[in-house]
Amino acid sequence: MKANLVKILQAMGLQRVLLPEHKMRSLSRSKNVDNSIDSDSASMKTALSVVLDVDSSNEPEPSEAAYLSWLKEHPSALRSFERMMKAARGKRIVVFLDYDGTLSPIVNDPDRALMSDEMRAAVRGVAKYFPTAIISGRSREKVKEFVQLPNVYYAGSHGMDIMAPPNPVKNSDGKSPPVSLDKKGNEVLFQPAKKFLPAIRQIYAELEEKTRRIPGARLEDNRFCISVHFRQVKEEDVNILREMVRSVIAKYPDFHLTGGKKVIEIRPSIEWNKGNALEYLLETLGFKDSSDVLPLYIGDDRTDEDAFKAIERRGQGYPIIVSTVPKDTKALYSLSDPSEVLTFLSRLARWRRASSCSSRSSAQIWGLGD
Ligand SMILES: [Mg+2]
């Protein structure tokens, strides 16, 4: 097969095109490429990459080779799109999205992690057709402020603070999911860590006092958890900062530390994570015991692994990791960066819209037929 491809490439005058591997990767995984690619052209690109690799005198960097090998285990959700949607026939897709590094780029100043208008339009498009939830480590209010979309479920503090949208997407039977309302007609919040709030406030005040001695250290109040960002802290100060945080938390046995991208997080020690939030939201949507629900979760960080594991436990669904480097993950599929997430979400909405033109397909999507 490789020999044939070499011949084809020679016929195309491409035999001397030897792109560095990272350029080939960005070419084949670029946001500009996917909108119309089908599986054939995707295979061709993969094959082309393989041939170029074989012919190239520049062997791929070890990290690049590792990435390509990892991609085989966690294939691109863009290239696998047709196959994924084929398997989704007769199932109900529910979309779960992380925020930082998934819908927005990772930036130095956490307050500037803004979502682009294009991404907002893409999420809006998806939420129009599928129940959609955003599960973030940030405070629910902050995520909502960034996303600014109605009809989306917001789960902040790693799922410890959940609120349903005013007008949730209807289920296949035309009914809205059962969401409890308070006396004012607002949705009831779900806050499993509420009793920890006084201690969290106390920890925050102590950390604020101590960490101000470390230039660049940045505290973020996520309501039910606290983030200590050290992206802008000098390397020699990072361990001092870690020790500071540890010494504060040592006095609070009900709390523990977790890590993320250049961030230390202080969380109450309860059995509640993004995976529990995913299960809770599915239950809220009326899918608790449903065997035909297909949760699709896109996230880039260690805390998203809990949600990937929850999908694994359910035995069906699409866990998708956002990463440009190989990572130990429970995700089945991958996307390289937020621009690929944007393409994927746009494609998902387009697929659903196109399917709805055919009542048969529409029935399939919502589990009304096969
Ligand atoms: Mg993230």
Q: Are residues 93 and 203 in the same domain?
A: no
299 domain residue, yes or no: yes
344 domain residue, yes or no: yes
Q: What is the CA radius of gyration of the chain?
A: 22
Please report, rounded to a whole number, the percentage of residues in the chain having pLDDT higher than 70. 73
Structural domain ending residue among the three candidates 268, 289, 313? 268
Pick the residue with more confidence: 207 or 165? 207
Q: Are residues 179 and 286 in the same domain?
A: yes
Task: List, by residue number, the catalytic residues.
Answer: 98
- pLDDT (average), residues 154-172: 74
140 domain residue, yes or no: yes
Q: Are residues 62 and 208 in the same domain?
A: no
Q: Are residues 209 and 358 in the same domain?
A: no
Q: Are residues 261 and 224 in the same domain?
A: yes
Q: Are residues 140 and 45 in the same domain?
A: no
| Separation of alpha carbons 256 and 243, rounded Å | 14
Distance 103 CA to ligand 1 centre (A): 8
Q: How many domains does the chain have?
A: 3
b/e string for 77-88 if b means 16 or more Cβ within 10 A?
Answer: bbbbbeebbeeb
Q: pTM (2 decimals)?
A: 0.74
pLDDT at 6: 39
Distance 99 CA to ligand 1 centre (A): 6
Distance 195 CA to ligand 1 centre (A): 26
Q: Are residues 143 and 278 in the same domain?
A: yes
Dihedral angle of Cα 79, 80, 85, 88, to the nearest 10 degrees: -160
Residues 6+ positions from 109 with CB-CB distance below 8 Å: none
89 domain residue, yes or no: yes
Q: Are residues 200 and 180 in the same domain?
A: no
pLDDT, the chain, mean: 80
Q: Report the candidate in 184, 139, 146, 183 with the shortest Cα–Cα distance to residue 163.
A: 139
352 domain residue, yes or no: yes
Summarize pLDDT for 176-201 with one digit per residue, the tens: 444 444 445 556 678 889 999 999 99
Predicted confidence band of residue 62 (pLDDT cuts 50, 70, 90): low
- Strands 318-322 vs 263-268: parallel, antiparallel or unpaired: unpaired
Q: Are residues 152 and 293 in the same domain?
A: yes
Structural domain ending residue among the three candidates 48, 73, 98? 73
Please report, rounded to a whole number, the percentage of residues in the chain having pLDDT higher than 90. 61
Summarize pLDDT for 68-104 with one digit per residue, the tens: 999 999 999 999 999 999 999 889 999 999 999 999 9
Taking a C-beta distance cutoff of 8 angstroms, is the pair 331, 74 a contact? yes
Q: Which helix (H) or strand (E) holds 6?
A: helix 2-11
Please give the residue range of the domain that contains residue 12: 2-29+38-73
**CATH number for the domain harbouring residue 297:** 3.40.50.1000
Q: Are residues 134 and 278 in the same domain?
A: yes
Q: Read off the amino acid at residue 210.
A: K
Distance 190 CA to ligand 1 centre (A): 22
b/e string for 281-294 if b means 16 or more Cβ within 10 A?
Answer: bbebbbbeebeebb
Summarize pLDDT for 272-295 with one digit per residue, the tens: 899 999 999 998 888 877 888 999
370 domain residue, yes or no: no
Q: Are residues 175 and 323 in the same domain?
A: yes
211 domain residue, yes or no: yes
Distance 327 CA to ligand 1 centre (A): 14
Structural domain ending residue among the three candidates 268, 300, 334? 268
Q: Are residues 343 and 329 in the same domain?
A: yes
For every residue of 78-92, DSSP letters joined together read TTTHHHHHHHTTT-E
Distance 23 CA to ligand 1 centre (A): 25
**CATH number for the domain harbouring residue 246:** 3.30.70.1020
